[in-house]
A = this chain, B = another copy of it.
Amino acid sequence: MTPKVARYLAEMEPATPCLVMDVDRVEQNYARLKAALPLARIYYAVKANPAAPILERLVGLGSFFDAASFQEVEMCLDAGAAGERVSYGNTIKKERDIAAAYARGVRMFAFDSEAELLKLARSAPGARVYCRILVGNDGAEWPLSRKFGCEVEMARKLMVQASELGLDAFGLSFHVGSQQVKTAAYEAAIAKVAMLFTDLAEAGVKVRMVNLGGGYPVRYKSEVPEIGAFGDAIMGAMTKHFGNALPEIVIEPGRFLVADAGVVQSEVVLVSRKGEDDPVRWVYLDIGRFGGLAETEGEAIKYGFRTPHDGAEEGPVTIAGPTCDSTDTLYEKSNYRLPLALRDGDKVELLATGAYVTTYASQKFNGFAPLNEIYI
């Protein structure tokens, strides 16, 4: 938690549940990433947190943007971004949304299928397009399965077809999974992309861009490698495979830029046991999986906690949200421990919750309104 956030919570005592976010920290993270990958163009993955103060700050820093929907395209434009700085990176788009983005100046689009390519040819004529290929997600705490991307052989054919359709067959992309803690995942994917570059050049299609996606990890409960290690591994692999003919490098960080800038504060609603001799207490918070903490599904993302009793004796806990739904349980198997002194009414903080929280919040499950958002 940054000192600014800590001070705000202490002085303002905002109603819970709330997210308090230090926008200066986003700027620092942007600078750290720039330093680690100076040759890469940063497209902020807006879906991680689309709040206007974040987008506006990043516009001021010269960032580019990766939008998942036409609504996110509009958020970027509203924040002052030029259309040509926005990539429409979702491979699943309604054709009328493609047309609407194109009309607003967007000129870069992702695809991974022939049907999507035909939509782009019709509704974004001449635009830069890039094909997403399937790569391994081993090492990712929030992996991406086969939903996005296509096999390399299909990508090769589609890129040739893109060119024939009058589109600019601009690049290739992949995504190694979010919260990826292994640098080798990027190295393997770059090798795969490089071979496809060569194949396409032989087919007469001159690809000029590699989009490395996101995935750069953030420190939650456990340590992760420094961003410098990812920068070194990525540039090492790029140089090994492309030599001096480096293509344009695009990265799409989301979590890395915003996660540790934010803290969710929550009130403890109840601490109880299921039987008198039960060693495990249940701690119920006023935010849960349907209040925004969706990435705790399967206990994938393990947030760190702060409580007013830190340092005092701890015991094992199951941590759950406030709704009448059992799936609204955050951590049951991850061996969380919290102070024995914890009581209902206590405020606790969930650390590094600036990414992938606010937008997930259900509109009104069990009648609960989404969390408050405060940007300072």
- Closest Cβ of chain B: how far from A44's Cβ, in Å? 13
A144 touches B360 (CB 8 A): no
Count copies of this chain in the complex: 2
In the bound complex, residues from chain B placing their C-beta under 8 Å from that of A284 are: 92
Complex Cα–Cα for A250 and B91 (A): 49
Contact indicator per residue, chain A 89-119, by CB within 8 Å of chain B (1) or not (0): 1111111000000000000000011111001
Comparing A18-26, A160-168, A268-276, the segment that makes contact with chain B is A268-276
Among A89, A320, A343, chain B packs the most CB atoms within 10 A around the CB of: A320
Q: A154 within 8 Å of B by Cβ?
A: yes
Q: Which residues of B contact A297 (CB under 8 A)?
A: 297, 327
Measured CB to CB, the closest approach of chain B to A259, in angstroms, equals 16
Give A360 to B365 CA distance when docked, in angstroms: 5
Q: Contact: A116 with B270, CB < 8 Å?
A: yes
Given A362-B362, A366-B359, A368-B71: A275 touches B326 (CB 8 Å cut-off): no
Size band of the A side of the interface? 35 or more
Q: How far is the CA of A144 from the CA of B320 in the complex (A)?
A: 13
Q: How far is the CA of A267 from the CA of B93 in the complex (A)?
A: 11
Task: Give the CA-CA distance A274 to B115 in the complex, in Å.
Answer: 12
User: Which 9 pairs of residues, A with B, have the shortest CB-CB distance?
Assistant: A71-B367, A113-B272, A151-B275, A72-B367, A69-B367, A68-B366, A144-B326, A145-B326, A147-B326
Provide 27 A-B residue pairs closer than 8 Å at the C-beta atoms, listed in order of the A residue.
Answer: A50-B364, A50-B367, A67-B367, A71-B367, A71-B368, A92-B270, A93-B270, A94-B286, A112-B272, A114-B272, A115-B343, A115-B344, A134-B274, A144-B326, A145-B326, A145-B332, A146-B274, A147-B320, A148-B326, A151-B276, A154-B276, A297-B327, A358-B363, A359-B364, A359-B367, A360-B365, A363-B363
Interface residues of A (CB under 8 A from B): 45-47, 50, 67-72, 74-75, 89-95, 112-116, 119, 134, 142-151, 153-154, 157, 267, 269-276, 278, 282, 284, 286, 290, 294, 297, 320, 322-324, 326-329, 332, 343-345, 358-370
